[in-house]
Amino acid sequence: MNLAEERIFSLGLRDLSSVLSYKNIRYALGKMMYALESKDVYCVFATDASITRNEGRWLSGYGYGGLIRWKKEDVAFPEIRPNACGMLLMRLEELPNREELARKASEVNRSELTLDGVEIKPDFGKGNHFFEFYEPLEVSEGTSDALSSDAYFAILHSSGPELKKEVYSYAQKGERVKTPLGKITLLKGEKAKEYYKTWKRLESFSKKRRELLAEKILGSYDLISNFTHQGLFSKKRGQIRMLRYDGRQRQK
């Protein structure tokens, strides 16, 4: 436990949520180091360090708002449960009518949408997911040309709930390692590679899902970014970000 604490670096606000996350992650890091027989496991908490509402993730010792990294290759810890949550940032030429937005969102909720052969169940407003619209008061100098004061912006925050069970199921498929701080599930070699491929499918699906839902509601928009902020970010050496921004950026 002491060794785990030495490998946690936190910029958290020291409110109750961030303190609980710090205390909890000690168990996960300790178990990871024991299972890997390595001290090279680290966690860096950002200012949004907080608890997670996912019971399985929390009881396994993981919190939110940071980056966890380990150096051993082709190893994964599926109890972290990455869900490919992210945000689609888009630029609009005009602000949509509120009543029209509500009508279209209601229609999308009732419609039968499919993506990559998977039926989509829209989740606007579920949990901390949202679809919000913004009129900028001012834009700082030096920002991207895509961010101008004469345009409007929208953010769609969501994940890929239709496929996340496939990723979560690996928590029951790996080797259960008994440690002094409790058991932890470990994936190695081909099983870890298979897990990563499953994760990449979820991430790709989640990004396309955000773009499709935005298109169904708005019709057209200029895509600024579509980033994943909760997920796996390294195939060989372990690196997972829990609610940190990362991903691809492109124009539509």
Q: Render pLDDT for 118-161 as a digit per residue (tens, 0 to 9).
A: 999 988 877 778 999 999 888 887 776 778 888 999 999 999 99
189-211: per-residue pLDDT in tens? 999 999 999 999 999 999 999 99
- pTM, rounded to two decimals: 0.89
What lies within 8 Å, CB to CB, of 73 at 6+ separation is 236, 237
Q: Can you give the pLDDT at residue 241?
A: 66
Mean pLDDT computed over 174-202? 96
Give the tens place of pLDDT for each residue, 47-88. Answer: 989 999 899 999 999 988 999 999 888 999 999 999 999 999
Mean confidence (pLDDT) of the chain: 90
